[in-house]
């Protein structure tokens, strides 16, 4: 039996929701699993075609979690999600490994269990939760407990202009520049706007999205790590976007609009101004991870 696992890319933080908000978008990685006599991995660089591959590591970790022994498989990776650009590429590998292990062993896994296992592997749920659940997810983990995830439906009329520079921002560098303490004033600023932004994305309220997505905790510091941040933001806002945020730790930037023609116009304008960049118009993915028997 062959099993195909499809996992969406994710945008974490959504500007104002540092380490708690994440959204699945319509850019995908596909992973095909087959039982085999020995481990083989194709579709990725040669240095990752071994037992240290994150997909296989997650596959084995899930089996260990269920008290089962790992077994050799053939894995083929067909990924359209760039690595180390802030679109959850590592989370797609983690989620694929878990769901591949479940599918090949006939185990039925619900969203809560899948998020819990993936969070143990990743260390945080902000990317894996939307990759599994789809749509927009706010996640937190109570002390000593499993992750809690609140899922929001995103208004279908919203489009996300996704700008991917040809350089990466390392997560460790992005975390170093973020202050470890914030003022009470900034904490209150964030709390109100997280509520406003999630509601705005649910309803498609353009004014609310534009007003709420103004971060004070991480983007003012991380933007310095992305040389083209200011110019891309200027083009997007002057061109009719409601707002723009850094996706994950970067370097990807994501602008929001409720007009499909504006989205396509911005894509063309940015591609013209930055020919080395990849630019997509994406929607929110409402489904999350998919499993298909081949």
Which residues pair with residue 257 across a beta bridge? 159
- Look-up: residue for tokens 């083989």? 40
Q: What is the 3-state secondary structure (H, E, C) of 82-131?
A: CCCCCCCHHHHHHHHHHHHHHHHHCCCCCHHHHHHHHHHHHCCCCCHHHH
Which residues pair with residue 254 across a beta bridge? 162, 245
Helix (H, G, I), strand (E, B) or coil at 226: coil
Question: How big is the chain, counted in residues?
Answer: 294
**Sequence ranges of the binding site:** 82-92
Integer Cα distance of 194 and 56 in angstroms:
36
Integer Cα distance of 83 and 127 in angstroms:
14
Integer Cα distance of 86 and 114 in angstroms:
22
The tokens for 3 are: 């099993």
Integer Cα distance of 50 and 38 in angstroms:
11
- Cα distances from 194 to residues 73, 157, 172, 209, in angstroms, run 43, 20, 24, 10
**Sequence ranges of the binding site for ATP:** 82-92
Integer Cα distance of 90 and 100 in angstroms:
15
């Amino acid at each position: 039996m062959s099993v195909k696992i499809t996992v969406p890319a994710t945008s974490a933080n959504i500007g104002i929701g540092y380490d708690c908000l994440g959204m699945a978008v319509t850019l995908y990685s596909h992973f095909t699993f087959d039982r085999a006599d020995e481990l083989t991995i194709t579709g990725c660089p040669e240095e990752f075609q071994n037992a240290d591959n994150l997909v296989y590591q997650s596959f084995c970790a899930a089996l260990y979690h269920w008290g089962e022994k790992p077994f050799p498989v053939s894995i083929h990776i067909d990924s359209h999600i760039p690595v180390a650009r802030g679109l959850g590429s590592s989370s797609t590998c983690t989620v694929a490994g878990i769901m591949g292990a479940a599918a090949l062993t006939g185990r039925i896994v619900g969203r809560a269990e899948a998020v819990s296992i993936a969070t143990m592997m990743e260390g945080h749920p902000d990317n894996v939760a939307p990759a599994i659940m789809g749509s927009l997810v706010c996640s937190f983990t109570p002390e000593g407990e499993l992750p809690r995830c609140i899922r929001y439906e995103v208004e279908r009329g919203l489009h996300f202009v996704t700008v991917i520079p040809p350089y990466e921002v390392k997560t460790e560098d992005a975390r170093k520049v973020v202050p470890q303490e914030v003022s009470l004033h900034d904490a209150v600023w964030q709390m109100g706007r997280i509520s406003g932004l999630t509601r705005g994305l649910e309803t498609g309220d353009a004014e609310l999205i534009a007003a709420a997505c103004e971060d004070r905790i991480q983007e003012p510091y991380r933007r310095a790590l992305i040389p083209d941040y200011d110019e891309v933001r200027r083009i997007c806002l002057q061109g009719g976007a409601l707002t723009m945020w850094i996706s994950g730790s970067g370097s990807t930037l994501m602008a929001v609009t409720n007009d499909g023609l504006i989205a396509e116009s911005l894509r063309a304008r940015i591609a013209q101004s930055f020919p080395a960049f990849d630019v997509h118009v994406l929607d929110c993915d409402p489904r999350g991870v998919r499993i298909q028997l081949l």
